[in-house]
Amino acid sequence: MYKLIVFDLDGTLTDTSLGIINSYMYASEKNSFKKLPREQIKGFIGQNLLHSFVNNFGISEDIARKVVLDYRDYYAKKGVKECKPYPGLIKTLDSLTNKGFLLAVATLKKTELAIKVLEFLGICGYFSVIRGMDANDSKTKGELILSCLNELGIARHEAVMVGDSYGDMHAALALGIDFFAVTFGFGFSDDISYDNANIKVFNRLFDICKYLTQN
């Protein structure tokens, strides 16, 4: 039924929470912001980074743009290595590619940093397209997903988006693309359920592979 599987990165392919939280902490401390609890910062994961600093720290967009640079400076040097793959990641990617599925990544992380994370995990080569945030932090998740489809010449009904957040879900459904929710990431709880034929819920990565290869 599907030709292309578009994955979110943070909270879907890999647990990047440590690097993200440490990057927030570094940028906050460097700019003398009020120190926020690490658990509260964890709740920012998946948000547009520029908007997150504006909304969660009460600063202007101009100041936030400078702070984002500090965040990304830490992340590029240390944060990309402060991640760990979710169980079954390599097995899932191997199985899907062997079955002929195209794979892509659409993430609000800056493209260069997303590639660094994927390279650190040794999985960059599985993905035909990797789309991340642009230099102006202006892209939406929907635009990034659609860019993956357009690059590969895939129709919307031939693609599925896999993600761990309501932002991922709403972006996919707004485009008319089916959505697979994973519960081991940052956004959905284990008891999530939807009465919607366009949404499926999975508790493990490899369960996605089993579903796709059996249907």
Whole-angstrom Cα distance, residue 195 to residue 119?
A: 37
**4-15+83-214 and 17-81, same CATH topology:** no
Class in CATH terms, 17-81: mainly alpha
Q: Is the pLDDT of residue 192 over 80?
A: no
CATH code linked to domain 4-15+83-214: 3.40.50.1000
Q: What is the pLDDT of residue 189?
A: 72
CA–CA dist 64, 101 (Å, integer): 39
Residue 74: pLDDT band with limits 50, 70, 90: very high
Q: If you average pLDDT over every residue of the chain, what do you get?
A: 94
The number of CA neighbours under 13 Å toward the Cβ of 123 is 24
The partner residues of 131 in beta bridges, in order of sequence, read: 106
pTM of the model: 0.91
* Distances, alpha carbon 93 to alpha carbons 17, 89, 98, 104, 173, in Å: 22, 6, 8, 11, 24
**pLDDT class of 65 with cuts at 50, 70, 90:** very high
In contact, 198 and 214? CB cutoff 8 Å: no
The whole-number pLDDT of residue 207 equals 96
* Tens digit of each residue's pLDDT (9 = 90 or more) over 135-167: 888 999 999 999 999 999 999 999 999 999 999
Q: How confident is the model at residue 34 (pLDDT cuts 50, 70, 90)?
A: confident
| 46 pLDDT higher than 90 | no
Q: For residue 100, what are its two tokens?
A: 């002929």
**pLDDT at 198 > cutoff 80:** yes
pLDDT surpassing 80 at residue 75? yes
Asked if pLDDT for residue 24 goes beyond 80, the answer is yes
d(C-alpha 174, C-alpha 74), whole Å: 34
Angle between helices 166-174 and 141-152 (to 10 degrees): 50
pLDDT at 105 over 80: yes
| Domain boundaries, given as residue ranges, for the chain | 4-15+83-214, 17-81
Exposed e or buried b for every residue in 130-156, given b needs 16+ CB within 10 A?
A: bbbbeeebebebbebbbbbbeebebee
Token pair of 153 as six digits = 């010449």
State the pLDDT at residue 1.
Answer: 85
